[in-house]
Structure 1
Amino acid sequence: MSKKIKLACIIDDDNIYVKLVRKIIETRKLCDHLLIFKDGKEGIDYFETLLQNFDKDNIPEVILLDLNMPVMDGWEFLERFTKIKNKFNNQITLYVVSSSINSTDIDKAKSLSSVENYLIKPVRINELEAVFKKIA
């Protein structure tokens, strides 16, 4: 039997999407705890703080990242996160989850070594389950 994800992270400003995904994760028991940040700045601040106060229990195993957000968008988050990702000993798997079907966005995201895959909103339950089962 595969191990369960302890901590996952959603970085997205769409409250309806976040509530839906949270409900699916809780109902399907895909992980124990969930961090939610409303923009890339909140997310990157969290990860940079983790590096300063290294606490491996608070490092998410999976990140679901939106691209279009206020304050700091997903691209800016990815640029900064890619620079620090390898400093975490834990494996962090990042998925871009966006409503953009623009092939330029999809190809750009998939070309980044820190991105596992690109999912298009609305994410189906089976896609979400596959993300968590692949990581576990």
Structure 2
Amino acid sequence: MADKATIYIIDDDEIFQFITRKSFERLERNDNLFFFLNGEDALSSIKEAISGNKPSPDLIFLDINMPIMDGWDFLAELIKLEGEMKKTPQIYMVSSSIDDKDLIKSKTYNMIKDYIVKPIKDTHIKELLNNLN
């Protein structure tokens, strides 16, 4: 994968967002990073991408528990848009939760590549970026 992917970080934890941004800076890539505090704002951005006004995401880091629209609600809405998207993003569910119910539920979504317990290490991000189609 080239050093230029469009990546959405959808998480209401501003510390996680800061740490993730710093991880990408350390990887010295030229990715387009978009940060959202809830699923609703990210979904609006994806709808704009569908209409051609923004790049659509190649990769999404998605938190479960957020205000306004949580990760599960975001996925339900994203699935409705799947036929309109030019490409299906790789989604990684990120959470501080180690609840088996969340892990099991995440496996019921074909769009979710993996469930990652926070924090995400630089080496893990690099590996995920190398595996982008």
User: Does the alignment reach a TM-score above 0.5?
Assistant: yes
Partner of 1:43: 42
1:42 partner SS: helix
11-20 or 41-50, larger mean C-alpha shift: 41-50
Would the aligned equivalents of 1:62 and 1:93 in 2 still touch at CA under 8 Å? yes
Which residue of structure 1 lines up, in the alignment, with residue 129 of structure 2?
132
The runs of 5 or more residues in structure 2 that have no matched partner are none
TM-score, length basis structure 2: 0.91
CA contact (8 A) 1:30 1:132 kept: no
**2:91 is the alignment partner of 1:94:** yes
Cross-structure match for 2:52: 54
Displacement after TM superposition at 1:90 (Å): 2.1
Amino acid at match of 1:39: N
Q: How many residues align?
A: 133
Q: Is the 8 A contact 2:27 2:122 kept in 1?
A: no
DSSP 3-state at the match of 1:135: coil
How far does residue 54 in structure 1 lie from its aligned partner after superposition? 2.3
* Residue 91 of structure 1, CA deviation: 3.7
| Fraction of identical pairs, as percent | 29
Could you give the per-residue CA deviations for residues 88-135 of structure 1, whole angstroms, max 9, x where no partner exists? 122411111111111110111122011111111111222111111111
What's the CA shift for 1:4? 2.2
1:81 aligned to 2:75? Answer: no
Q: How far off its partner does 1:5 sit?
A: 3.4
Q: 1 or 2, which has the higher helix percentage? A: 1
Check the 8 A contact 2:11/2:36 in 1, yes or no. yes
CA RMSD in angstroms comes to 1.6
